[in-house]
Every structure is written in C-alpha cells, then in structure tokens.
A and B are shown apart, each in its own frame.
Chain A
Amino acid sequence: AQSVAQPEDQVNVAEGNPLTVKCTYSVSGNPYLFWYVQYPNRGLQFLLKYITGDNLVKGSYGFEAEFNKSQTSFHLKKPSALVSDSALYFCAVSVITDSWGKLQFGAGTQVVVTP
C-alpha cells in the first residue's frame, strides 16, 4: 500500500526567505505526485504535479518541486515566501496500479510566513 509522509506539522519562515515543505512517499509502482494548497475555509487548490520527465516541476504562484527517486521525496519549494503563502499544504500520491485517480494525502503542513 502506498503512503505519503509530511514530517513537519508546521513550517515557519520570514517573508522573503526560501520556503521548503517536505514530502516523502512509499509506493510499489511508479508514483504520480501532487501538491495542493488549502486556504482557510476553502477547498484544495492544485499547485503542481510530477508525472514523468524532468525532476524539477514548476507550478502556480512561483512554487516548484523536485522529484528525487532515490530518496523517494517530492519537496515543495519557493525561493522567496510571501505572507499570502500562509496556508495548509498537502502532498498526495496516485499510483497507476491502484484505483486510478484516487489520491492518498499526507497529513498536511501548516506554513506560516511572518512579515
């Protein structure tokens, strides 16, 4: 069975500093990896995904993520954080051998960006 781990419950960063949100996964097949963001009292918004190809994927709002197969990681990054990036971030995995499209989510990481 696949699983996703987000080891940090919360990440605190000052505005303008780099932001990293960690994600590791465990799957038996080839993973499709996703990042979603949730603002207060809102649904999840898609940020980016890794399917195949270039290990560095770029997404919305200046975010990017690096797929590392040997470390089974898919960390989310932003070079310069904004206060408006404060939100709950979820990593998710979908496995082609599983029910197609069913996402397995991590527990989420709360990002707090201070001015």
Chain B
Amino acid sequence: GAGVSQSPSNKVTEKGKDVELRCDPISGHTALYWYRQSLGQGLEFLIYFQGNSAPDKSGLPSDRFSAERTGGSVSTLTIQRTQQEDSAVYLCASSLVSGGANEQYFGPGTRLTVT
C-alpha cells in the first residue's frame, strides 16, 4: 500500500518568507508526527497528533512554527518568517495508533533551504 508522502520534496525560500510543508499519512493511521533532521541537532521531535486530542507541541522550537491536521488525515507544518537555522529536512511519520509500542512509518522528508 501507499506509504507516508510529503510535499514538496525540496523547498528553497528566502529568509523572512513563510513556508508550508504537507504530509499525507498512511490511510487509517491515527497518529501523526513531525520531526526535524539537521546536521547540528540530529533528529528532533516537533509535534504529534493523535485522533481528535489536543496535539503535543512540546518540541516546536519557537512560536514561528505551527501545525494542523485536518479531518484526522493530512497535516500541514507552517514556518513563519523563516530563518537560516530553520534549514533542515522535515520528516513526517504516522502510526496505526498512538502509544510507545507502535512503530512509526516515515515519509521521505522535505528538504528546506532558507537563503
């Protein structure tokens, strides 16, 4: 079946612009996660959604970052007023249900470059 998809695969933007990154999870997966992968910081958790519950935003690095999940499926990560330190690969993952025992399935990522 189809895996997690993300778009765009690459995004180059100017400092100060807003960007939106999209994630389509595996059909039927109720939990959705965003991570960021960068050379200096490794893999960092950003935010996670589980069904209709309030998202866990504890990993968002600043108030310039926000995310929403519409209809319990597609998610959009928005970065406002981008900075050069936002340059990274943004990974989305989904799992069948929430819970620490469930493996997460990752998308290919969106490579964001802020110039």
Q: Could you list which residues of chain A lie within 8 angstroms of chain B, going by C-beta atoms?
A: 32, 34, 36, 41-46, 49, 51, 90, 94-96, 98-108
List the B residue with the shortest CB-CB distance to A96: B100
Q: Count A/B pairs, Cβ under 8 Å.
A: 63
Beta-carbon contact of B43 and A43 below 8 Å: no
Contacts of B107 in A (CB 8 A): 43
Task: Please give the distance in Å from B53's CB to the nearest CB on chain A.
Answer: 10
Residue among A95, A101, A106, A108 making CB contact with B104, cutoff 8 Å = A101
Interface 9-residue window, one of B11-19, B76-84, B91-99: B91-99
Beta-carbon contact of B100 and A43 below 8 Å: no
Contacts of B2 in A (CB 8 A): none
Could you list 22 examples of A-B contacts with CB < 8 Å? A32-B100, A43-B4, A43-B91, A43-B108, A43-B109, A44-B106, A49-B101, A51-B101, A95-B100, A96-B100, A98-B100, A99-B56, A100-B99, A100-B100, A101-B95, A101-B98, A101-B100, A102-B33, A102-B56, A102-B59, A103-B33, A107-B42
In angstroms, Cα B56 to Cα A90, docked, is 23
**Tier of interface size on chain B:** 20 to 34
List the B residue with the shortest CB-CB distance to A43: B106
Beta-carbon contact of B42 and A105 below 8 Å: yes
Task: Please give the distance in Å from A28's CB to the nearest CB on chain B.
Answer: 13
